[in-house]
Amino acid sequence: RLLIPTVMDTPSLLSLTVAFLGFLSPCLTKLTPRVSFPMGIPGRHLTRFSSHDVSNTTTLLLSEDGDMLYVGARDTVLALDVSYKDSIILRSKLDWSPSEKDIEQCSMKGKNMTDCPNFIRVLQFLNTTHIYACGTFAFSPRCTYIVSFLKADEGRGRCPYDPFQRNTAIIVDGELYTGTVADYRGNRPVISRHLGEGRRVDLKLDDTLGWLEDPTFISSSFIPEEEKIYFFFSEVGREYDFIDKCIVSRVSQICMSDVGGQRTLQRRWTTFAKAQLLCQADNELPYNVIQDIDTLPPAEGAPADDTLFYGIFTSQWSVNSGRSAVCSFRLNDIKSVFSGNYKVLNRDTLQWSTRVQDKVANPGECGLHNASDNALRFVKENFLADDSVRPVGRSLLMVSAEHKYSHVAVQRVQAANNRDYTVLFLLTESGYLHKSVLLQSGAHIIEEVQVFEQPQRVKSLKLSIPKGMIYLGTSEGVVSIPTANCSFYWTCPQCVLARDPFCGWDPASRACVEFSLLRGQDIDRGNVEEACNTISFTNRNICMSASCPAGKLVPVSLNEVVRLQCPAASQLSQQLWERPNSRLSSDLYLYLEDGSLSFVASPATVGHYICLSTENGYQQTMAIFHVKQKSSPMTQTPTSYTWPEPHHIPNTKSVARPGPRLHTSVGTWPQITETRQGETEAALSSRDTQVTTRQQGRNVALQTNESGKKEAEFQDGEPLLSARGSCYLKELVVVSVLLVLCLSLLITMLLYVIRQRCCSRTQIVTPTRESERRTPTEQEALKGNRFLNKCNGQTSGLVCNGALTGSNGHLSNTPI
- Per residue in 52-80, pLDDT (tens digit) is 889 999 899 999 888 999 999 999 999 99
In terms of Cβ atoms closer than 10 Å to its own Cβ (0-12, 13-18, 19+), residue 364 is: buried
Q: Which amino acid is at 558?
A: L
Q: Residue 717 pLDDT more than 80? A: no
Summarize the confidence of residues 515-535 as an average pLDDT: 65
Q: How far apart (Å, rounded) are the C-alpha atoms in residues 410 and 465? A: 10
Summarize the confidence of residues 380-400 as an average pLDDT: 92
Closest to 18 (Cα-Cα) out of 28, 29, 8: 8
Q: Residue 624 pLDDT more than 70? A: yes
- Parallel, antiparallel or unpaired: strands 657-658 and 89-95: unpaired
Q: Phi first, then psi: what are they for 674, rounded to 5°?
A: -75, 135
Predicted confidence band at 700 (pLDDT cuts at 50, 70, 90)? very low
In terms of Cβ atoms closer than 10 Å to its own Cβ (0-12, 13-18, 19+), residue 570 is: buried
Predicted confidence band at 451 (pLDDT cuts at 50, 70, 90)? very high
Q: How far apart (Å, rounded) are the C-alpha atoms in residues 438 and 330? A: 16
Q: What is the pLDDT of residue 568?
A: 87
Count other Cβ atoms within 10 Å, centred on residue 551.
Answer: 19
Q: What is the pLDDT of residue 233?
A: 96
Q: What is the pLDDT of residue 502?
A: 92
Q: How far apart (Å, rounded) are the C-alpha atoms in residues 813 and 816? A: 9
Q: Left if phi > 0, otherwise alpha if psi is -120 to 50, otherwise beta: which for 214?
A: left
Count other Cβ atoms within 10 Å, centred on residue 104.
Answer: 14
Contact 426, 293 (CB under 8 A): no
- Parallel, antiparallel or unpaired: strands 618-629 and 552-556: parallel
Q: How far apart (Å, rounded) are the C-alpha atoms in residues 531 and 512? A: 12
Would you say the C-alpha torsion 536, 539, 543, 547 has a positive or negative sign?
negative
In order of their start, the domains of the chain are: 552-674+685-716 (2.60.40.10), 789-816 (no CATH)
Q: What is the pLDDT of residue 410?
A: 97
Residues 6+ apart with CB under 8 A from 387: 1, 275, 337, 340, 341
Predicted confidence band at 19 (pLDDT cuts at 50, 70, 90)? very low
- Based on its alpha-carbon atoms, the radius of gyration of the chain, rounded to whole angstroms, reads 41
Better-predicted residue by pLDDT, 357 or 458: 458
Q: How far apart (Å, rounded) are the C-alpha atoms in residues 317 and 25? A: 12
Closest to 436 (Cα-Cα) out of 498, 347, 520, 516: 498
Predicted TM-score (pTM) of the model is 0.73
Q: What is the DSSP letter of 84?
A: S
**Per-residue 3-state assignment (H helix, E strand, C coil) for 523-579:** CCCCCHHHHCCCCCCCCCCCCCCCCCCCCEEEEECCCCEEEECCCCCCCCCEEEEEE
Residue 133 is inside which H or E element, if any?
A: strand 131-135
Residue 325 is inside which H or E element, if any?
A: strand 324-330
Count other Cβ atoms within 10 Å, centred on residue 54.
Answer: 18
In terms of Cβ atoms closer than 10 Å to its own Cβ (0-12, 13-18, 19+), residue 202 is: middle
Count other Cβ atoms within 10 Å, centred on residue 64.
Answer: 9
Contact 507, 519 (CB under 8 A): yes
Q: Residue 794 pLDDT more than 60? A: no
Q: What is the pLDDT of residue 631?
A: 62
Count other Cβ atoms within 10 Å, centred on residue 722.
Answer: 17
